[in-house]
Chains A and B, each alone.
Chain A
Amino acid sequence: MNSPNSVGIASILSRPYKSIRLEWSSELSALRVRTCVTPIQCYSLAAMGELQRVLLDIAENQGLVKHFVMTSDVPGVFNFGGDLSLFVLLIRARDHESLRLYGRRCVDLLWWMETAAQIGVHTTVLVQGDTLGGGLESVMPFHKVIFERSAQAGFPEVLFNSFPGMGAWNFTIRKAGFAVANEMILSGKLYTAEQLHECRLVDMVVDDGCGEEAIEEAMRAVHPRLRGTLSALQARSIAAPVTYQSLLDIVDRWTINSLNLTDRDLRLMERLARAQARKGTQGVSEGAVEEIKRVELDRAWGEERTGITEWASL
């Protein structure tokens, strides 16, 4: 039943957004969100606000949207996760409350995905490029996770003494098991699409350029048995529950840890932010993923032995 705030698809599509673009397919009742956050494709406050608005519209117009699809409009990047500049600002300001608020907003977006089946919505995400930290966390509650073969993902937070605090533990454990979650979160390593598929974090890997077709196929496959699928997914949430409270408790832990990051940790975070920014500049293909590999290499070889890396100068 629609809420008193129901507005219809035309109104939903006509809202002015800066970080996202909406597309509607009436045949499958599919709403697609294409994200493009400038200058860095990450979860900025504004982008999260806009996403929240869309999700609220869907919830207030139950029955209107049956498929929710998310993709990125930024070539080579799905999402770099948290807004590192904002984190640096809030950590330097010792602002516990704002950090916590940011974490809670992230959790609210995840929670919508986790409970989407309850409002009759099946969710699909296509990852066509790098997705790190919060970016990877954000795709995990989707019902169908599709990666193109060249996409890479991981939780690099441990490299700067943090950890992914918005659902990584809960959803990785549920989808891939405890050992995989331990390995991924505590190593900070990056994984290929194929590796993520092998450990069941990703449902489908397709060749580069075939992602669009895969979304269409996934939606068409589930559409005739949508009601049953959504009921089964709700039952799955009962069988292997992720609770809102546990997500919030982890955010609280993440907030406390963030305030204990040292200047050296923050400088490494800034180094990754710079690398993220570089990837956005014209003609530069290297970004945070390459920088993380350099940091991993520095660590593997030992800072003092090499003595020639950027890491040594931190």
Chain B
Amino acid sequence: MPNFFIDLVTETDEARREFEAHPVVFASVANGMSVERYRVLLGELYHIVWHFNPICAAAASRITDEHASIRDFLYRHMHEESGHEQWVLNDLEAVGVSREQATAHRPSPNVLALVGFNYWASDRRHPCSVLGMLYVLEVLAAVYGGPFSATIRETLFLEGQRGTSFLSSHASLDAVHMAELRDVLNQLTIADAKNAVIESVRVNFRQITSVFGAV
């Protein structure tokens, strides 16, 4: 079986480590952040999560039968992720931001650029580039989500999963998703699709780093 996953991990490892190396990310995972900054981060995250399924839908609608299994994967994934923006709203409420305030929050240019790129890439670059967005979000959740939510709980004195339900749940949920995504990525054989995914991973890591960096 071809193993594109190895190539993807290797080709984009520098982008992942640049995210990890950003002073704000680095300090946040190690030492947490203030409640004010955590509120801003969740506010930004709300918009990213809100657009997740529409971007997947846009990509799925453009995927030809050549990649039918990837389209089917996206359908299942969208179903599983459905309503998760509500989890972010719950977390925002737990740290003192009402639903009205949260939904009224205007996303930063960094979030707009991230979301905008993913719509554009699904539409104009290659629909499989959406897998790059999925990979980045799942790496963030499966690798950094657990330590980050643990640090946030410790530093903000949050009990159980209150205030960190989105991050904590995805840290364990995405462990299963990562394995599924690896199988899906390994089905890619066409160079254009693979290159689009690699490009998308690099852009998504870069933009997510900018989102964190600006918080």
Hey, which bits of chain A sit against chain B, CB under 8 A? 38-40, 44-46, 85-86, 88-90, 92-95, 97-98, 101, 263, 267, 270-271, 273-274, 277-278, 280-281, 284
B167 close to chain A: CB less than 8 A = no
Query: By the criterion CB–CB under 8 Å, are A98 and B142 in contact?
Result: no
Contact of A46 among B13, B29, B143 (CB under 8 A): B13
- Closest beta carbon of chain B to A206's beta carbon, Å: 32
B48 close to chain A: CB less than 8 A = no
Query: By the criterion CB–CB under 8 Å, are B21 and A39 in contact?
Result: yes
Query: By the criterion CB–CB under 8 Å, are A263 and B13 in contact?
Result: no
Residues of A within 8 A of B17 (CB): 38-39, 44, 46
Contact of A277 among B6, B14, B26, B174 (CB under 8 A): B26
Please measure, in the bound complex, the distance between the C-alpha atom of A273 and the C-alpha atom of B151, giving whole angstroms: 12
Residues of A within 8 A of B13 (CB): 44-46, 86
Contact of B29 among A38, A101, A277 (CB under 8 A): A277
Contact of A89 among B31, B143, B147 (CB under 8 A): B143
Q: Is the interface of B mostly helix, strand, loop or mixed?
A: helix
Please measure, in the bound complex, the distance between the C-alpha atom of A279 and the C-alpha atom of B139, giving whole angstroms: 23
Query: By the criterion CB–CB under 8 Å, are A92 and B143 in contact?
Result: yes
Query: By the criterion CB–CB under 8 Å, are A263 and B175 in contact?
Result: yes
The total of Cβ contacts below 8 Å across the A-B interface reads 84
**Which residues of B162-197 are within 8 A (CB) of A?**
172, 174-175, 178-179, 181-182
User: Would you give 7 A-B contacts (Cβ < 8 Å), ordered by A?
Assistant: A89-B9, A89-B178, A94-B179, A95-B9, A263-B175, A270-B147, A274-B29
Interface string of B30-67 (1 = CB under 8 A from A): 11000000000000000000000000000000000000
B27 close to chain A: CB less than 8 A = yes
Please measure, in the bound complex, the distance between the C-alpha atom of A281 and the C-alpha atom of B142, giving whole angstroms: 23
- Closest beta carbon of chain A to B201's beta carbon, Å: 12
Residues of B within 8 A of A39 (CB): 17, 20-21, 26
Please measure, in the bound complex, the distance between the C-alpha atom of A278 and the C-alpha atom of B29, giving whole angstroms: 9
- Closest beta carbon of chain B to A91's beta carbon, Å: 9
Query: By the criterion CB–CB under 8 Å, are B179 and A92 in contact?
Result: yes
Residues of B within 8 A of A280 (CB): 26, 30
Please measure, in the bound complex, the distance between the C-alpha atom of A280 and the C-alpha atom of B181, giving whole angstroms: 32
B87 close to chain A: CB less than 8 A = no
B3 close to chain A: CB less than 8 A = yes
Q: Which residue of A is nearest B22, CB measured?
A: A39
B144 close to chain A: CB less than 8 A = yes
Query: By the criterion CB–CB under 8 Å, are A273 and B147 in contact?
Result: yes
Contact of B31 among A40, A93, A98, A281 (CB under 8 A): A281
Q: A90-B9, A280-B26 are in contact. Are A267 and B178 (CB under 8 A)?
A: no
Residues of A within 8 A of B6 (CB): 95, 97-98, 101
Q: Which residue of B is nearest A39, CB measured?
A: B21
Residues of B within 8 A of A92 (CB): 142-143, 174-175, 178-179
The 3 A-B pairs with the shortest beta carbon distances in the complex, nearest first, are A39-B21, A277-B30, A94-B179
Query: By the criterion CB–CB under 8 Å, are A98 and B174 in contact?
Result: no
- The interface centre, meaning the residue of A85, A273, A281 with most chain B CB atoms within 10 A of its CB, is A85
Please measure, in the bound complex, the distance between the C-alpha atom of A284 and the C-alpha atom of B30, giving whole angstroms: 10
Q: A44-B17, A274-B147 are in contact. Are A93 and B30 (CB under 8 A)?
A: no
Q: A93-B5, A274-B151 are in contact. Are A85 and B144 (CB under 8 A)?
A: yes
Q: A39-B26, A263-B175, A273-B147 are in contact. Are A97 and B14 (CB under 8 A)?
A: no
Residues of A within 8 A of B132 (CB): none
- Closest beta carbon of chain B to A266's beta carbon, Å: 8
Contact of B5 among A38, A85, A98, A263 (CB under 8 A): A98
Residues of B within 8 A of A86 (CB): 9, 13, 16
Interface string of B142-168 (1 = CB under 8 A from A): 111011001100000000000000000
Contact of A85 among B143, B172, B181 (CB under 8 A): B143
Please measure, in the bound complex, the distance between the C-alpha atom of A270 and the C-alpha atom of B141, giving whole angstroms: 13
Please measure, in the bound complex, the distance between the C-alpha atom of A38 and the C-alpha atom of B9, giving whole angstroms: 18
Please measure, in the bound complex, the distance between the C-alpha atom of A46 and the C-alpha atom of B21, giving whole angstroms: 13
Please measure, in the bound complex, the distance between the C-alpha atom of A101 and the C-alpha atom of B6, giving whole angstroms: 9
- The interface centre, meaning the residue of A92, A97, A101, A277 with most chain B CB atoms within 10 A of its CB, is A92
Query: By the criterion CB–CB under 8 Å, are B172 and A263 in contact?
Result: yes
Contact of B10 among A45, A267, A281 (CB under 8 A): A45
Residues of B within 8 A of A85 (CB): 16, 20, 143-144
Please measure, in the bound complex, the distance between the C-alpha atom of A44 and the C-alpha atom of B16, giving whole angstroms: 11
Residues of A within 8 A of B14 (CB): 46
Q: A86-B9, A98-B5 are in contact. List 10 more A-B contacts (CB 8 A).
A: A38-B21, A39-B21, A46-B17, A85-B16, A89-B16, A89-B142, A92-B142, A93-B5, A277-B29, A280-B26
Q: Which residue of B is nearest A101, CB measured?
A: B6
- Closest beta carbon of chain A to B197's beta carbon, Å: 15
Please measure, in the bound complex, the distance between the C-alpha atom of A239 and the C-alpha atom of B15, giving whole angstroms: 45
